[in-house]
Amino acid sequence: VSALYVLATPIGNVCDISLRGLHLLGIADAVACEDTRNTSQLLQRYGISRPLIAAHQHNEREVADKIIARLQQGERIALVSDAGTPAVSDPGARVVQAVQAAGLQVIPLPGASAAITALSASGLTDERFQFIGFLPSKARQRDTELQALAAAQTALVFYEAPHRIIDTVDAMLQAFGPQRQIVLARELTKLFESIHRCALGDAPGWLAADTNRQRGEFVILIQGAPVAEGDSADSDRILKILMEELP
């Protein structure tokens, strides 16, 4: 059917695309993409050739109008980003919103996302997580944001670029203290994939010990803050029993 298909692409290993996604790419009237070179490589890998529409964060509004006009003609348009799930720390959300506002259909085709991939093999046992994505690049704003997250009792999920990894981990150590677990998930699904879990206090030393550990794309996960003893329902219950026993 005619719709905007929001389609997840691989985050490294080119095989991590769904059969449904490949089929859709094969029959789409056009593929709206963040970077046409990047997407044409992916399509070539699967022997697919489709017209491409450049849709990056600077032209999302104009592109949305173009896409809406084509959907109104009954076309099927795929929307992809360079890697992973569109609209998650990537362009796409504005196009989706505009297409929905025009009363047209948006259909998601799920697949890889770096955040969920990292969480699944992190070994963290927090039942909840918050997705933060990229922190502000200015140190002061970054530190303020980290402070605001310090009491959160959920795992925290960050995206980070390689040139900032050391600074960011140092800032996290300042904000969260040395005890919590950190997971550095690097180059997921790629040749040099590594997933390292340690106490936050040990992370700067681990990174410094080998410059290869600082290279590539990172997801950083931080274990949630421990539930303070005073918060626990158990201690409240015990206190209540003791109070009843007291003369």
List interacting residues with ligand SAM (CB under 6 A): 11-12, 81, 83-85, 88-90, 113-115, 159-161, 185-190, 217-219
Nearer to ligand SAM, 81 or 223 (CB): 81
Written as one string, the DSSP assignment of the chain is ---EEEE-B-SS-TT-S-HHHHHHHHH-SEEEES-HHHHHHHHHHTT----EEE--TTSHHHHHHHHHHHHHTT--EEEE-SSBSTTSSSTTHHHHHHHHHTT--EEEE----HHHHHHHTS----S-EEEEEEPPSSHHHHHHHHHHHTT--SEEEEEE-GGGHHHHHHHHHHHH-SSSEEEEEESTTSTT-EEEEEEGGGHHHHHHT-GGGG-S-EEEEEPPPPPPGGG-HHHHHHHHHHHHH--
Q: What's the closest the beta carbon of residue 33 comes to ligand SAM, in angstroms?
A: 13
Which residue's CB comes closest to ligand SAM? 84
Q: What's the closest the beta carbon of residue 116 comes to ligand SAM, in angstroms?
A: 8
Q: How far apart are CA 49 and CA 25, in angstroms?
A: 9
Q: How far apart are CA 68 and CA 124, in angstroms?
A: 42
Q: What's the closest the beta carbon of residue 101 comes to ligand SAM, in angstroms?
A: 23
Q: What's the closest the beta carbon of residue 64 comes to ligand SAM, in angstroms?
A: 19
Nearer to ligand SAM, 71 or 220 (CB): 220
Q: What's the closest the beta carbon of residue 193 comes to ligand SAM, in angstroms?
A: 7
Q: What's the closest the beta carbon of residue 205 comes to ligand SAM, in angstroms?
A: 21
Per this entry, what is the length of the chain? 247
Nearer to ligand SAM, 70 or 142 (CB): 142
Nearer to ligand SAM, 126 or 217 (CB): 217
